[in-house]
Amino acid sequence: MAVEMTERCKRIRERLVYTDPIICPERAVLWTESYKQTEDQPPVIRAAMALKETLSKMTIHIYEDELLVGNQGSALRAAPLHPQINLWFLNELDSFEKREGSRFLISEEAKEKLRSVEEYWRGKTVYERTMALLPQEAIDSMNSKMFTCSYTLATGTGHFLLNFEKVLRDGFHGIQRECEEHLQQLDYAVPEDFEKFSVYKAVIIVCEAVKIFAERYAALAEEMAKEENNVSRREELLRIASICRRVPYYPPRDFYEAVQCTWFQQLIAQIESDGTGLSVGRLDYFLWPFYKKDREEEKLEKSFAEELMDSFWLKCGEIIEVWNEDDSRYFGGHPISQTITLGGTEADGSDSVNELTYICLDSTMKVKLPQPSVCVRVHKNSDFAFLRKCAEVIRCGLGMPAMYNDEIAIPSLMNRGVTMEDARRNWGVAGCVEMGLQGQMCHFANSGYFNLVKCLEITMDGGFDRGTGKQVGPKTKPAEEMESYEEFVEAFKAQFHCAMHHMVEIGNVVNTMHAKWITLPFITAFTEDCIGRGKEVHDGGAKYNHDGPQGVGLADVADSLCVIKKLVFEEHAFTMKELMEAIRADFTGHEEIRVQALKDAPKYGNNNRYVDDIARNVLTYFCEEVGQYRNLRGGVFVPGQYSNSANVPFGEDCGAMPNGRKAHTPIAEACSPSHGAEKHGPTQAALSVAHLDHVLVTNGTQYNQKYHPNTLKGEKGLEALVGLIKTFFEAGGFHIQFNVVSADTLREAQKKPEKYRDLVVRVAGYTAFFVDLNKAIQDDIIGRTEMNFA
Amino acid sequence: MRKTGLIYSIQRYCIHDGPGIRTNIFFKGCQLRCPWCANPESQHKQRELSFVSHKCTQCGLCIKKCPQNALRKEKNGRIDRKSCDLCGLCVRCCPSDCYQIFGREVTVTELLEEVERDRPFYQNTGGGVTATGGEPTLQPEFLTEFLGACKDRGIDTAMETHGNAPAQVMERLASVVDHFLIDIKCMDNGLHERVIGAGNQNTLENIRMLAGKMDKEVSLRIPCIPGFNLNEKNRKELILFAKEIVKTGNLHMIHLLPYHNLGFSKYEALDREYAYQNVMALRDEELAEYETELRNEGLPVTIGG
């Protein structure tokens, strides 16, 4: 393995890392100009024409040193805006530069241009059209902050795993031919055929647009070659030109062409669609035939293949999206969740790890950027050498690769109607942790985030929300009057049931608006079975269709229910009335009740069956509720259990809880134990998490563990990590990710010890939680951690 | 026979004290007093209360609750150790977990239950349980029974010890311990006795017996302490001894353990003086030469546990 990138890739990386993100008005303006000209056309054709206008006119660059070409915005790290969905940015034009996190530069000229698109879009955005249609109860329910749909109301769908295999096989030329053949069979007199005309025509426009786009790069490369004095760079540019004349319109003939083809497809999807989680998927699997053939025929040096993969990683790193300020709280650090899934199996279940898989893991380790996000599929026959390699990359401290368990994912997808063959062959991570199917699925994976803790709070108040002063759920008994644990659980279920129903109402309206007014003809072109059905991808064209809301705060809910069950109704340590009084006072003056709540009831995360069963039951109930709804595309709602960074703002929205959590402090992230609850170390916490029924959670569960680098030192550190992953998966876990803590995290732990109670520092013969050390020692460890990571 | 053992901590996911992922059981009590000791809470045979002052929010709950009035308002010198009878009320009522009592009595059954909870991790990594401390051999009956029960259940066993136990104790333990990890603090018997409070002859003999006659797997743990045992004379004698063991017995590994001062906070929390307070921690690199020296002599060696 090459341990370092080539000098060329280092320069590209440098350029990327030292460029400040800016706001780019170009896409918004071109898109709007096109829409003004196409009022008489059906939406899907309008979208196709807007894409064609954009791809024909947008600024293109071939940056110095590049082997792969294709840029997203008018300059490096220039983030586009998507006025067709939401005009939020008009209110934030002057604050982009003032943000604390996720800051963007913006020129006065850009602001002017962006203001100019308002007139056309005002009243036509997905957001406005949705809000006009929503029932008031759904809005009230959302305003109580029991859930948020801010993602779908502000951005596009995202979360597609594109069908690269089809384009690598047929090219867009092949797709265009397919559409032309379909068009010949259609009859305007047949009602079912009517809308198909527009879909096929739109896809044909898109295929032409793709050709124009790639040929613009070819022309630019030829022009640059003429001016280039350096002979080897000139040759490179001419090679780039010849590749861009070929792909992605025609299928690639070698590995280099295949990689460029893949990049173009990924890039154009990013330009067409807003929304995060547009994922690359099984790169090592679908590029493997090209790699293998070129290597066997001795046409490809391994070192060049490595450089191309590094280049691909760097290209993914260029993609940038801007979130509104509010969503930036839920999704800190403007993540794009462009995910690559490595490893996994063939359709027959056999291991599909190959030489390219290892090259991709090396690229992750060498390029060291937050994007692309890299995942690995592990199954019962994954070999030790491969897992050890993954552990080596994890140890670098990027939090990657995240590890996923095929033995959960495959039955989970099958439980939602996916065939075994599709699940084995095509499942990959779409975005954060969501199970997607490559090339086959339309996935509204972020349809809502549920604040389960807020739902518990509203349950305690009998459906009344103290925040908005409104009755937002059914009138159930206030907690003080309840006579049994079962009664409380039933009330919680009634409140959740009602909120979930409202969320589905909102989800369905949003999705209809996307299908009707946004449309994605580019992604439609290759997603199975859009062409066969003659349907746009938002409109039921895809073979599989999922909508996924997430639960957040499971651990706090489980621990709170446990306190009510054990301390109130079993042991009568205090009454429900006393507990409620303490909670409403944020435990001030009721410290003894808080101490009992904190210490006398077991907490999720310690492999204690009593409370782990409660957690499992809550999650199972959540999954059953979510799973009963169908979506508009003929698919189903699938539950998820992950939080991004929503656990912090969600916590701010909630008062004190029966588990002893103080008001407005963060709630537990994803499937992790609540803050400070984990007392028995990583093995026992992992077993608690694995006790949940992950198979039910088809939109994914997430579990993070934090380690100090010392824990992963040496060969033993790697072997133990592999052992931990294997054991967690055998016990039934789905996802695990490791934060090898940075010095920054340790500093944060110094400031907020209550949040990092579980962070263990391990040195041979010595044992301590980091937060138990005094400041001088903590500083010492921070200093050493920095040395380790230098 | 003693029905219970006294332990002060159970640590999981330990990877430096024997093969695989291990669960370390820390036994309380040690007759030696190494002045650099990183685990002061392990030394006394009695239960002890510790107080971590920087976590205290001065809510006052503990002071109100203490039946002996043994707690002062100030963070420094909080505990009046003469009045405290270790009732544990402060531990219980502190919402910030500032207090901790080190030392609890456990039965073999209870301890087995704790160990069993990590069984799935042992199976995937060849791990198991490690008895450490403190000094586990000070509780020989309990220890033998506990480790024997682990063996009966197919759980791999290791023991970390200073090795200064009667030969009969070690002989009996040999039937229930798979991996011995034995400390050699220094080779000079006089220095050993002066600084630590006992000589090293017993330890060295036990190593000879276990690794040699009994053919048990023995690893040597060498704490590398600035100003104490890093001189050439000690190194040479250690090499000589290790070569003797290699020749006649089952020497698995020599671990050079760089001195660190992470135990300092714990001395504070127990209101004790730390003699090594101002000694700088060693970095791994500083032992590279030592490691090379041993390796060149054909000895199996690694830095760290």
The count of domains in chain B is 2
Q: Are residues B69 and B131 in the same domain?
A: no
- pLDDT value at residue A649: 85
Q: Within an 8 Å CB–CB cutoff, is residue B300 touching chain A?
A: no
The answer to whether A763 contacts B260, with C-beta atoms less than 8 Å apart, is: yes
The answer to whether A765 contacts B305, with C-beta atoms less than 8 Å apart, is: yes
- β pairing state of A435-437 and A427-429: antiparallel
Q: Are residues B196 and B68 in the same domain?
A: no
CA distances to A18, B28, B48 from B43, in Å: 54, 6, 10
Q: Are residues B95 and B118 in the same domain?
A: no
Report yes or no on A676 lying in a domain: yes
Determine the residue of chain A that is closest to B280 in CA distance: A780
Q: Are residues B32 and B74 in the same domain?
A: no
Q: Within an 8 Å CB–CB cutoff, is residue A609 touching chain B?
A: no
Q: What is the DSSP letter of B25?
A: E
Residues of A in contact with B92 (CB under 8 A): 595, 599
Burial class, B227, CB count within 10 angstroms (exposed 0-12 / middle 13-18 / buried 19+): exposed
**Which three-class secondary structure state does DSSP give residue B45?**
coil
Q: Within an 8 Å CB–CB cutoff, is residue B118 touching chain A?
A: yes
A332/A334 Cα distance (integer angstroms): 6
Convert the pLDDT of each residue in A259-272 to its tens digit. Answer: 999 999 999 999 99
Q: Within an 8 Å CB–CB cutoff, is residue B41 touching chain A?
A: no
- When CB atoms are compared, the residue of A711, A723, A771 closest to B121 is A723
CA distance A460 to chain B (A): 24
B108/B48 Cα distance (integer angstroms): 22
Q: Are residues B193 and B146 in the same domain?
A: yes
- pLDDT value at residue A322: 87
Residue B180: name the closest of B301, B17, B5, B21 by CA. B17
A555/A675 Cα distance (integer angstroms): 9
Report yes or no on A206 lying in a domain: no
Indicate which of B8, B10, B16 best probes the interface with A, i.e. most A CBs within 10 Å of its own CB. B16
Torsion region of A519: left, alpha or beta (phi above 0 gives left; psi -120 to 50 gives alpha): left
Contacts of A62 (CB under 8 A, 6+ apart): A69, A217, A220, A221, A224, A237, A240
Residue A534: name the closest of A188, A201, A248, A38 by CA. A201
CA atoms within 13 A on the CB side of A227: 5
Inform me whether the pLDDT recorded for A644 exceeds 80. no
Inform me whether the pLDDT recorded for A787 exceeds 50. no
| Listed range (A146-160, A190-204, A534-548, A776-790) with the worst mean pLDDT | A776-790
Contacts of A202 (CB under 8 A, 6+ apart): A44, A45, A47, A48, A519, A521, A524, A536
Beta bridge partners of A340: A281, A374
**Confidence label for A118 from pLDDT (cuts 50, 70 and 90):** very high
- pLDDT value at residue A332: 59
Q: What is the DSSP letter of A88?
A: G
Q: Are residues B89 and B197 in the same domain?
A: no
B267/A739 Cα distance (integer angstroms): 30
Residue A74: name the closest of A60, A53, A56 by CA. A60
Inform me whether the pLDDT recorded for A788 exceeds 60. no
The answer to whether A592 contacts B93, with C-beta atoms less than 8 Å apart, is: yes
CA distance B162 to chain A (A): 12
- pLDDT value at residue B151: 98
A456/A680 Cα distance (integer angstroms): 27
Q: Are residues B183 and B247 in the same domain?
A: yes
Report yes or no on A609 lying in a domain: yes
Contacts of A657 (CB under 8 A, 6+ apart): A453, A456, A457, A556, A559, A560, A583
Q: Within an 8 Å CB–CB cutoff, is residue A682 touching chain B?
A: yes
The answer to whether A781 contacts B262, with C-beta atoms less than 8 Å apart, is: yes
The answer to whether B55 contacts A763, with C-beta atoms less than 8 Å apart, is: no
Inform me whether the pLDDT recorded for B273 exceeds 60. yes
Convert the pLDDT of each residue in A472-508 to its tens digit. Answer: 999 999 999 999 999 999 999 999 999 999 999 998 8
**Which three-class secondary structure state does DSSP give residue B5?**
strand
Average pLDDT over residues A505-532: 93
Q: Within an 8 Å CB–CB cutoff, is residue B95 touching chain A?
A: yes
Contacts of B84 (CB under 8 A, 6+ apart): B49, B68, B70
The answer to whether A683 contacts B17, with C-beta atoms less than 8 Å apart, is: no
Q: Within an 8 Å CB–CB cutoff, is residue B268 touching chain A?
A: yes
- When CB atoms are compared, the residue of A714, A727, A761 closest to B124 is A727
The answer to whether B21 contacts A723, with C-beta atoms less than 8 Å apart, is: yes
Inform me whether the pLDDT recorded for A327 exceeds 80. no
Q: Are residues B17 and B84 in the same domain?
A: no
Inform me whether the pLDDT recorded for A20 exceeds 80. yes
- pLDDT value at residue A784: 60
For A650, other C-beta atoms within 10 Å of its C-beta total 29
A100/A103 Cα distance (integer angstroms): 7
**Which three-class secondary structure state does DSSP give residue A320?**
coil
- pLDDT value at residue B115: 97
**Confidence label for A396 from pLDDT (cuts 50, 70 and 90):** confident
Inform me whether the pLDDT recorded for A706 exceeds 70. yes
232-261 of A, contacting B, C-beta below 8 A: none
Residue A352: name the closest of A373, A375, A381, A374 by CA. A381
Known catalytic membership, residue A432: yes
Convert the pLDDT of each residue in A425-446 to its tens digit. Answer: 999 999 889 999 999 999 998 8
For A750, other C-beta atoms within 10 Å of its C-beta total 18
Q: Are residues B57 and B178 in the same domain?
A: no
Inform me whether the pLDDT recorded for A449 exceeds 50. yes
Domain containing B123: what range? 4-45+107-303
Q: Which residue has the higher pLDDT, A757 or B233?
A: B233
Residues of A in contact with B263 (CB under 8 A): 766
Q: Are residues B208 and B122 in the same domain?
A: yes
Q: Within an 8 Å CB–CB cutoff, is residue B91 touching chain A?
A: no
The single residue listed with the structure tokens 């397919």 is: A178
Q: Within an 8 Å CB–CB cutoff, is residue B165 touching chain A?
A: no
A168/A265 Cα distance (integer angstroms): 10
Do A687 and A731 touch, CB atoms closer than 8 A?
yes
Q: Within an 8 Å CB–CB cutoff, is residue B128 touching chain A?
A: no
**Confidence label for B164 from pLDDT (cuts 50, 70 and 90):** very high
The answer to whether A771 contacts B121, with C-beta atoms less than 8 Å apart, is: no
The count of domains in chain A is 1
The answer to whether A777 contacts B93, with C-beta atoms less than 8 Å apart, is: no
The answer to whether A720 contacts B124, with C-beta atoms less than 8 Å apart, is: no
Report yes or no on A749 lying in a domain: no
Residues of B in contact with A714 (CB under 8 A): 302, 304
Report yes or no on A374 lying in a domain: no
Do A262 and A254 touch, CB atoms closer than 8 A?
no
Average pLDDT of every residue of chain B: 94
The single residue listed with the structure tokens 């931990």 is: A724
A77/A299 Cα distance (integer angstroms): 34
Convert the pLDDT of each residue in B67-124 to its tens digit. Answer: 999 999 999 899 999 999 999 999 999 988 899 999 999 999 999 999 999 999 999 9
Q: Within an 8 Å CB–CB cutoff, is residue A762 touching chain B?
A: yes
Average pLDDT of every residue of chain A: 92
Q: Which two tokens stand for residue A311?
A: 């280049």
Convert the pLDDT of each residue in A338-382 to its tens digit. Answer: 999 999 999 999 999 999 999 999 999 999 888 899 999 999 999
A518/A511 Cα distance (integer angstroms): 10
Report yes or no on A395 lying in a domain: no
**Which three-class secondary structure state does DSSP give residue B161?**
strand
Q: Are residues B52 and B159 in the same domain?
A: no
- pLDDT value at residue A136: 92
For B67, other C-beta atoms within 10 Å of its C-beta total 9
Report yes or no on A390 lying in a domain: no
Convert the pLDDT of each residue in A540-568 to its tens digit. Answer: 999 999 999 999 999 999 999 999 999 99
Report yes or no on A537 lying in a domain: yes
- pLDDT value at residue A705: 84
- When CB atoms are compared, the residue of A594, A731, A775 closest to B120 is A731
| Listed range (A10-19, A406-415, B185-194, B238-247) with the worst mean pLDDT | A10-19
CA distance B75 to chain A (A): 13
Residues of B in contact with A727 (CB under 8 A): 120-121, 123-125
**Confidence label for A56 from pLDDT (cuts 50, 70 and 90):** very high
- pLDDT value at residue A761: 61
- pLDDT value at residue A401: 93
Beta bridge partners of A736: A403
A244/A260 Cα distance (integer angstroms): 8
Evaluated on CA atoms A410, A416, A420, A424, the torsion sign reads: negative
**Which three-class secondary structure state does DSSP give residue A368?**
coil
- pLDDT value at residue A789: 35
- β pairing state of A402-405 and A735-740: antiparallel
Q: Which residue has the higher pLDDT, B305 or B70?
A: B70
- pLDDT value at residue A258: 98
Q: Within an 8 Å CB–CB cutoff, is residue A719 touching chain B?
A: yes
ipTM above 0.85, yes or no: yes
User: Considering B102, B118, B139, which residue would you say is the last residue of a domain?
Assistant: B102
Q: Within an 8 Å CB–CB cutoff, is residue A718 touching chain B?
A: no
- β pairing state of B99-102 and B104-107: unpaired
Indicate which of B97, B123, B261 best probes the interface with A, i.e. most A CBs within 10 Å of its own CB. B97
- When CB atoms are compared, the residue of B55, B118, B125 closest to A719 is B125
Q: Are residues B149 and B198 in the same domain?
A: yes
- When CB atoms are compared, the residue of B9, B160, B265 closest to A773 is B265
B41/B43 Cα distance (integer angstroms): 6
- pLDDT value at residue B96: 84
Known catalytic membership, residue A108: no
Domain containing A457: what range? 449-697
Q: Which of A53, A165, A236, A434 is catalytic?
A: A434
The CATH number of whichever domain residue B78 belongs to comes to 3.30.70.20
A217/A199 Cα distance (integer angstroms): 28
A703/A692 Cα distance (integer angstroms): 12
**Confidence label for A766 from pLDDT (cuts 50, 70 and 90):** very low
| Listed range (A404-418, A561-575, B247-261) with the worst mean pLDDT | B247-261
The answer to whether B9 contacts A766, with C-beta atoms less than 8 Å apart, is: no
Average pLDDT over residues A574-585: 98
Q: Which of A432, A442, A498, A654 is catalytic?
A: A432
Do A355 and A370 touch, CB atoms closer than 8 A?
no
Q: What share of chain B is helix, strand, coil (3-state, %, to 5)?
A: 35, 20, 40
Determine the residue of chain B that is closest to A721 in CA distance: B21
- When CB atoms are compared, the residue of A713, A766, A772 closest to B260 is A766
